[in-house]
Chain A
Amino acid sequence: MTLWIRRKSGSAGSDDESAVRCTAGKKSRMLKAAVFLLLAAGVLFAATKYFGRSNIEIPRVSLEGMHPDVVSLIDRRRRHVESNPLSADAWGNYGMALLQHQRQYEALICFDQATALQPPSPRWPYFAGTILEQSEFEEALARYQKSLSLDHAYVPLLLRAASVLIQQNDLQQARELLNRAKDQPGGAAALVQLMRLSRQNSNMKQAEDTVQSARASNALSRELLLELASMKVAEGQTDEAIALQAESKQLPPAQAFLTDPWMDELQRFDATGAYSSAVADQLRMQGQVKQAAAKLGALARQFPERSRPALNRATLLLEMGDAAGAEKELQALKDRFPGDAMILLSLAYARFARGDQISAEQLLSDAIRLKPDYAPAWMAIAEICRSTNRPLEAIAAYEKAVAATPEDIRIHLSMADLLLSEGQFDEAARRLQDASRIRHDDPSIRKQIEDLSKRLPAATKVE
């Protein structure tokens, strides 16, 4: 085609003829080359088709019983691989969908295939490794080694590979990887692992230096301090160890310093709401209650057969002071899940908040019929009885709550308060004594115990 264009566009004359002859020679060579390339492509295509059909079967999983959204996602991703059998992303994404939905064996096949199709990517062997580390250490290590050869600095990868090496008792190699990770962002977990490995040498000086340097670089974690505490115990310094243990409880776990963006991609393949649920939980913990409620509302709509998203949303509405909204949603939930004691309890809270104590008490009794040792329900009944001037019934309900959860300090204190008001000082002293035996970190609780104790007559003292 190119020749023809040249002849038409060129000027007439001998030069043109020689040019045509010359071009004709080239044409012959190029035609040969084209034929060869076509043949090669044909062979390649046929081979790909042949091997694609015979050896690299696209994994198919039984979808029976799965949620329709999961079925749809897996089916979609599989069809995408069928249409793009040479696409690493298609295989890898199908693997991600399978991994997220508990089909690890099939996911592994996909990741290995994606690795073969896209050798420069460290992510596919990494994902394969995360599956294999739960069953076959050697195979997992092979995948991690491949991944490390492509990205030698990814901290989660270094930590996972080190973890497998430790489980294989190959401590030297593990130490090398951990040393690579420890000074990078998220390396706090590596520091802890190194400390654990060092504990075998009982090098207290080194351990204390490590803790000091972590303290200076804001990489101090709960586990690091506990490691030092363990070494103190081994040296007989138990009191120091106990103090370190107490301090460690105020620190974040080492894992909190770590993020794994590769693994986080799994949330794009979540068809069961597991990730959204976790995100909602996190939002709530961070005080972003409205956003959490919105997230839960979406989950409740997506999974109407589940009770928890809607229940959690309703309790958030209660926290936000929207008792009417909560009551409406909880009533609907109760109609759908009549045997769920948690829903009954929450609905009772909502009714109580709206001033309907009679209905609240009835709901709480229903909850207790379903779960006789439901301490929060007994406690709520006690509070209703108390507010409606029925102290004896309230005391009886408190007793049930204490029997179900003797470790709950709030129940002891509320009960003691009522007993003091009723002049039952011996029993009140007993409750306060039990309360003082339960360890707690809240100074206001200690103050409450002291204040209540002051109301006891001089003859009745808490030991």
Chain B
Amino acid sequence: MAHAAYESPRLPSEFNSRPNGSIADHLHGIAIPGLAVLLILMTGCFSEAPPLPESQQPVRSEHQAFFEDITDKSGLTAVHRAVPAEDFPMPQIMGSGAAMLDADGDGLLDLLLVAGEPQPVSEGAATARCPLYLQDKEGSFRDHTENSGLIISDFGMGVAAGDIDNDGDTDVCITTAAGARMFQNDGAAVFQDITATAGIGTSRWCTAAVFFDYDRDGWLDLLIVNYVDYFPGSVCQDGTGRRDYCGPLAFSGTVDRLYRNSGGSGQLNVFRDVTLETGLGEGAGKGLGAICSDMNGDGRTDIYVANDMEPNRLWIQQPDGLFRDEADIRGCSTDFQGRPQASMGTAWNDFDRDGMPDIFLTHLRGETNTLYRQIMSGVFVDNTAAAGLGAASLNFTGFGVAASDVDLDGNDDLLIANGRVMRAPFLTPDPSASHWDEYAERNQLFLNIGSGQFEEVTSLREPFLLNSEVSRGLATGDIDNDGDVDVLISNTSAKARLFQNVADRKGNWIRVQAIDPDLKRDAIGARIIVISDQHRWVKEIQPCIGYLSCHDPRLHFGLGETPEIQRILVHWPTIPADIEEFVKPGINGDIVLRRGTGKRISSADSSEPKKAGH
């Protein structure tokens, strides 16, 4: 009958807070006392101040901006709601996400922001409307929030966007700190809450949500990542006895849930919880981010879950449909030194262009963000240091992340949204500082300079890096359809920001949409391989990745100076496996690849055994 309710001491990883400037900067003025000082004075032996540590040096101080902050002129006015409270409710410091999606089917990207704290409405429970902005042909955004029907009743966390009923429009699942809600789109961005009948009832603290077809039956299933078993009202202190937000160590982990879409059985918009029967019930964790993809190249979709201060899990799908956690033995559960990290956001891109996607995770202040390079199918090594991504992230707490080729040089760069989860101890408290100022950090941009090597852009004139805010969600997409990738950032208790890409273009590009006409939707899970005479690029269609966010489902490829694409291979996410080739597709424009219209180059019959969950 007894249960444990032990306080766990907080880890010191957040304790390295300090005022502006590096610690080394502040030490330069310190002299050695006593005789040593005299000797130094007498001999006139002054040493030069050592140079700034490499991690603090600006990489590209002189450059044209990469982004322009167009929030105000775009019409985006949404402000996230998170009211500071005496008990420091933990969901406030973890949410909320954002999405770029085409909600009304007009071919233009719209913006969805997950709402934060609900507000009491007259004589009813507290609710919050998730801001939805529809883009018009002039490129402005119109507030559609009041008519969208996207209403939640708990603190909003993440969003998944996908067509769950194969009717050609984008439906939405929004996770909250106490469950998830499913919304069906009528095609004109008016959503109906179908949670009650959708079969996804849960009261858990849900974080990332991903639509993906794990059993490849043509219907999008749903992964909901769960965080901790939270007790609202719990009181936590920092290491000095000051109230602060609780960390994950204060609570136990929970099991992530997998819901199978029953559309194939004729039950539209109904999901069945297959967590236990697929083996996912075997391991609890404190999940925040996820990657749903074939991560070991065996043709089956796997699930990678980024856990907060616990080892990450890589659920490899077995031939019988059961999932088995193999993260430990595949090199992607902990950092190089075997330490579990506070994993938040995820990216799954081929950073070194070796044909195999790699994993990138954002982490807590005091830890490095981590790059797991895939060295052979399904085998990873922590390559953070060699990639130049180690020291630069130590002073930040990373959440939202996306890997996109910002400057079109042919290599995917990294955009990271930062913001602390514990207070920064200031030397001199500023009475005018708001509650959230103590958690604010600037964002980061890392340029991939080739072969998976990164350099940080630290110019203080770069608008993307200018504001120190508590940033969480980060969604990318080409909002103005001009061939480069723009960025939406969600900020806690502040307005969201929209950044338009204005970078100097270093090359060509294509934007690929792969559609299965039978399913009337984007081929989520399709792997696209773009091949030129000298290069190849690999990407996968999975818009729901990063931190609690979804991106433009169209794949954007920067091509560098490549003048011509020879062919594009599409691995359709189906059983049996189906690969089609599309030749000479052209560059610097949209390419729509429809299944069945390319040259079939492989179709293997699959004699898969009966699968778990069916």
Give the interface size class of chain A.
Answer: 35 or more
A168 in the interface (beta carbon within 8 A): yes
Binds B, one of A24-32, A147-155, A224-232, A415-423: A224-232
In contact, B16 and A104 (Cβ under 8 angstroms): yes
Q: How far is the CA of A229 from the CA of B390 in the complex (A)?
A: 26
In contact, A134 and B394 (Cβ under 8 angstroms): yes
| Residues in B neighbouring A277, C-beta threshold 8 A | 6-7, 9
Q: How far is the CA of A94 from the CA of B365 in the complex (A)?
A: 24
| Residues in A neighbouring B277, C-beta threshold 8 A | 434, 437
How many residue pairs link A and B with beta carbons under 8 A? The number is 263
| Residues in B neighbouring A352, C-beta threshold 8 A | 1
Interface string of A123-141 (1 = CB under 8 A from B): 0000000011011111100
Q: Which residue of B lies closest to A435 (CB)?
A: B276
| Residues in B neighbouring A339, C-beta threshold 8 A | 233
B604 in the interface (beta carbon within 8 A): no
| Residues in A neighbouring B384, C-beta threshold 8 A | 167
A281 in the interface (beta carbon within 8 A): yes
In contact, A315 and B4 (Cβ under 8 angstroms): yes
* Other-chain residue from A61, A169, A244, A311 in contact with B5 (beta carbon distance below 8 A): A311
Interface string of A257-297 (1 = CB under 8 A from B): 00000000000000110110110110010000000000000
Residue in A70, A248, A437 whose Cβ sees the most chain B Cβ within 10 Å: A437
Give the interface size class of chain B.
Answer: 35 or more
Binds B, one of A3-11, A108-116, A204-212, A388-396: A108-116
In contact, A407 and B390 (Cβ under 8 angstroms): no
| Residues in A neighbouring B1, C-beta threshold 8 A | 318, 349, 352-353, 380
In contact, A244 and B2 (Cβ under 8 angstroms): no
* Other-chain residue from B38, B255, B376 in contact with A407 (beta carbon distance below 8 A): B255
Interface string of B195-239 (1 = CB under 8 A from A): 000000111100000000000000000000000000111110111
Q: Which residue of B lies closest to A50 (CB)?
A: B37
| Residues in B neighbouring A373, C-beta threshold 8 A | 178, 202-204
In contact, A112 and B337 (Cβ under 8 angstroms): no
Given A132-B23, A272-B241, also A47-B390 (CB < 8 A): no
Given A100-B239, A104-B18, A254-B338, also A139-B282 (CB < 8 A): no
| Residues in B neighbouring A271, C-beta threshold 8 A | 241
* Other-chain residue from A199, A238, A278 in contact with B381 (beta carbon distance below 8 A): A199
Given A102-B17, A138-B53, also A309-B7 (CB < 8 A): yes
B24 in the interface (beta carbon within 8 A): yes
Given A47-B37, A51-B31, A277-B7, also A64-B429 (CB < 8 A): yes
Q: How far is the CA of A117 from the CA of B37 in the complex (A)?
A: 11
B391 in the interface (beta carbon within 8 A): yes
Closest chain A CB from B327 CB (angstroms):
10
In contact, A52 and B7 (Cβ under 8 angstroms): no
Closest chain B CB from A237 CB (angstroms):
10
* Other-chain residue from A117, A200, A315, A371 in contact with B2 (beta carbon distance below 8 A): A315
A37 in the interface (beta carbon within 8 A): no
B45 in the interface (beta carbon within 8 A): no
In contact, A312 and B30 (Cβ under 8 angstroms): no
B451 in the interface (beta carbon within 8 A): no
Q: Which residue of B lies closest to A436 (CB)?
A: B276
Q: Which residue of B lies closest to A320 (CB)?
A: B2
In contact, A139 and B328 (Cβ under 8 angstroms): no
In contact, A56 and B329 (Cβ under 8 angstroms): no
| Residues in A neighbouring B43, C-beta threshold 8 A | none
| Residues in B neighbouring A340, C-beta threshold 8 A | 231, 233-234
Closest chain B CB from A249 CB (angstroms):
9
Within B343-390, the residues touching A (CB, 8 Å) are 365-366, 368, 375-376, 378-379, 381, 384-386, 390
In contact, B391 and A167 (Cβ under 8 angstroms): yes
Q: How far is the CA of A267 from the CA of B527 in the complex (A)?
A: 54
Q: How far is the CA of A126 from the CA of B365 in the complex (A)?
A: 21
Closest chain A CB from B2 CB (angstroms):
5
Q: Which residue of A lies closest to B394 (CB)?
A: A135
In contact, B329 and A241 (Cβ under 8 angstroms): yes
* Other-chain residue from A66, A306, A439 in contact with B240 (beta carbon distance below 8 A): A66
| Residues in B neighbouring A136, C-beta threshold 8 A | 22-24, 53, 55-56, 391, 394
Closest chain A CB from B40 CB (angstroms):
10
A86 in the interface (beta carbon within 8 A): yes
B32 in the interface (beta carbon within 8 A): yes
| Residues in A neighbouring B337, C-beta threshold 8 A | 163, 166, 193, 196
* Other-chain residue from A109, A254, A437 in contact with B30 (beta carbon distance below 8 A): A109
Closest chain A CB from B285 CB (angstroms):
11
In contact, A342 and B6 (Cβ under 8 angstroms): no
| Residues in B neighbouring A307, C-beta threshold 8 A | 235
Q: Which residue of B lies closest to A271 (CB)?
A: B241
Q: How far is the CA of A139 from the CA of B233 in the complex (A)?
A: 41
Q: Which residue of A lies closest to B1 (CB)?
A: A349
A325 in the interface (beta carbon within 8 A): no
| Residues in A neighbouring B331, C-beta threshold 8 A | 230
| Residues in A neighbouring B27, C-beta threshold 8 A | 108-109, 112
A298 in the interface (beta carbon within 8 A): no
In contact, B30 and A308 (Cβ under 8 angstroms): no
In contact, B238 and A102 (Cβ under 8 angstroms): yes
Q: How far is the CA of A266 from the CA of B30 in the complex (A)?
A: 25
Q: How far is the CA of A134 from the CA of B7 in the complex (A)?
A: 24
| Residues in A neighbouring B329, C-beta threshold 8 A | 226, 229-230, 232-233, 241-242, 244-245
A55 in the interface (beta carbon within 8 A): yes
Q: How far is the CA of A281 from the CA of B8 in the complex (A)?
A: 9
A65 in the interface (beta carbon within 8 A): yes
Residue in A102, A168, A353 whose Cβ sees the most chain B Cβ within 10 Å: A102
B13 in the interface (beta carbon within 8 A): yes
Interface string of B40-61 (1 = CB under 8 A from A): 0100000000000111100000
In contact, B6 and A105 (Cβ under 8 angstroms): no
B266 in the interface (beta carbon within 8 A): no
Binds A, one of B123-131, B399-407, B420-428, B583-591: B420-428
B436 in the interface (beta carbon within 8 A): no
Q: How far is the CA of A313 from the CA of B368 in the complex (A)?
A: 38
B73 in the interface (beta carbon within 8 A): no
| Residues in B neighbouring A84, C-beta threshold 8 A | none
B582 in the interface (beta carbon within 8 A): no
| Residues in A neighbouring B379, C-beta threshold 8 A | 230, 233-234
| Residues in B neighbouring A168, C-beta threshold 8 A | 385, 390-391
Q: How far is the CA of A230 from the CA of B241 in the complex (A)?
A: 42
* Other-chain residue from A223, A226, A407 in contact with B281 (beta carbon distance below 8 A): A407
B490 in the interface (beta carbon within 8 A): no
In contact, B16 and A342 (Cβ under 8 angstroms): no
Given A66-B242, A318-B1, also A61-B33 (CB < 8 A): no
Q: Which residue of B lies closest to A437 (CB)?
A: B276
A347 in the interface (beta carbon within 8 A): no
Given A242-B329, A277-B9, A346-B5, also A86-B233 (CB < 8 A): no
* Other-chain residue from B53, B233, B241, B378 in contact with A66 (beta carbon distance below 8 A): B241
Closest chain A CB from B426 CB (angstroms):
7
| Residues in B neighbouring A248, C-beta threshold 8 A | 328
The 9 tightest CB contacts between A and B, nearest first, are A67-B241, A105-B18, A373-B203, A102-B239, A229-B329, A407-B281, A134-B366, A134-B16, A169-B385
Known: A242-B329, A342-B231, A407-B284. 6 other contacts (CB 8 A): A62-B426, A104-B16, A105-B16, A135-B395, A271-B241, A439-B279
What is the interface of chain A, defined by CB distance below 8 A to chain B?
43-44, 47-48, 51-52, 55-56, 61-62, 64-67, 69-70, 85-86, 100-106, 108-109, 112-113, 116-117, 131-132, 134-139, 163, 166-169, 192-193, 196, 199-200, 223, 226, 229-230, 232-234, 238, 241-242, 244-245, 248, 254, 271-272, 274-275, 277-278, 280-281, 284, 306-309, 311-312, 315, 318-319, 339-342, 345-346, 349, 352-353, 370-373, 376, 380, 403-407, 434, 437-439
Mind listing 20 A-B residue pairs with CB under 8 Å? A48-B34, A52-B33, A56-B33, A62-B426, A85-B33, A102-B240, A113-B33, A134-B365, A196-B338, A200-B381, A230-B330, A241-B326, A248-B328, A274-B9, A277-B9, A306-B237, A309-B7, A312-B6, A312-B7, A345-B3
